[in-house]
Amino acid sequence: MTETMRVAEISTPGGPEVLVAGTRPVPEPGPDEVLIRVAAAGVNRPDCLQRAGLYPAPPGASDLPGLEVAGEVAAAGGNVTRWQPGDIVCALTHGGGYAEYVRVHAGSCLPVPERLTPAQAAALPETTFTVYFNVWMRAGLKPGDSLLIHGGSSGIGTTAIQFAKALGHDVIVTAGSEEKCSFCRELGADLAINYRDGDWRDALAEARPDGVDVILDMVAGPYTQQNIDALRTDGRYALIALVGGAVADGVSMASVLRKRLTITGSTLRPQPDAVKAEIATNLERDLWPLVSAGSMTPVIHAEFPLAQAAEAHALMERGEHMGKIVLTVD
157, 298 contact by CB (below 8 A): no
Q: What are phi and psi of 9, to 5 degrees?
A: -120, 165
In this structure, the number of other CB atoms found within 10 A of the CB of residue 53 comes to 12
130, 42 contact by CB (below 8 A): no
List, run by run, the mean pLDDT of 10-residue segments along the chain (330 residues): 94 98 98 98 96 93 97 98 98 97 98 96 98 98 98 96 98 97 98 96 96 97 96 98 91 96 94 96 97 97 98 95 95
Residue 133 carries which DSSP code?
I
Q: How far separated are the first and last CA of the chain, in Å rounded? A: 15
- List of residues 6+ apart from 107 with CB closer than 8 A: 32, 273, 274, 276, 277, 280, 281
- Domain positions in the chain: 4-124+298-328, 128-265
Q: What are phi and psi of 194, to 5 degrees?
A: -80, 110
Residue 99 carries which DSSP code?
B
Tallying the residues shown for the chain, one arrives at 330
- List of residues 6+ apart from 142 with CB closer than 8 A: none
pLDDT of residue 297: 97
Identify the three-state secondary structure at position 114.
coil
| Cα 248 off chain centre by | 23
Amino acid at 298: P
pLDDT of residue 330: 84
Residue 26 carries which DSSP code?
P
Q: What is the 3-state secondary structure (H, E, C) of 66-84?
A: CCEEEEEEEEECCCCCCCC
Exposure class string for 287-326: b at 16+ Cβ within 10 A, else e: bbeebeeeebbbbbbbbbebebbbbbbebbeeeebbbbbb
pLDDT of residue 13: 98
Is beta strand 170-175 parallel, antiparallel or unpaired with respect to 191-194? parallel
160, 132 contact by CB (below 8 A): no
- List of residues 6+ apart from 198 with CB closer than 8 A: none
How far is Cα 165 from Cα 84, in angstroms, rounded to an integer? 35
How far is Cα 225 from Cα 230, in angstroms, rounded to an integer? 9
Q: Among 3.30.1320.10, 2.130.10.10, 3.20.20.70, 3.90.180.10, name the CATH number for the domain at 4-124+298-328.
A: 3.90.180.10
CA angle 83, 88, 298 (to 5 degrees): 125
In this structure, the number of other CB atoms found within 10 A of the CB of residue 269 comes to 18
For 91, the enclosing helix (H) or strand (E) is strand 88-92
| Cα 299 off chain centre by | 12
128-265 falls under which CATH superfamily?
A: NAD(P)-binding Rossmann-like Domain (3.40.50.720)
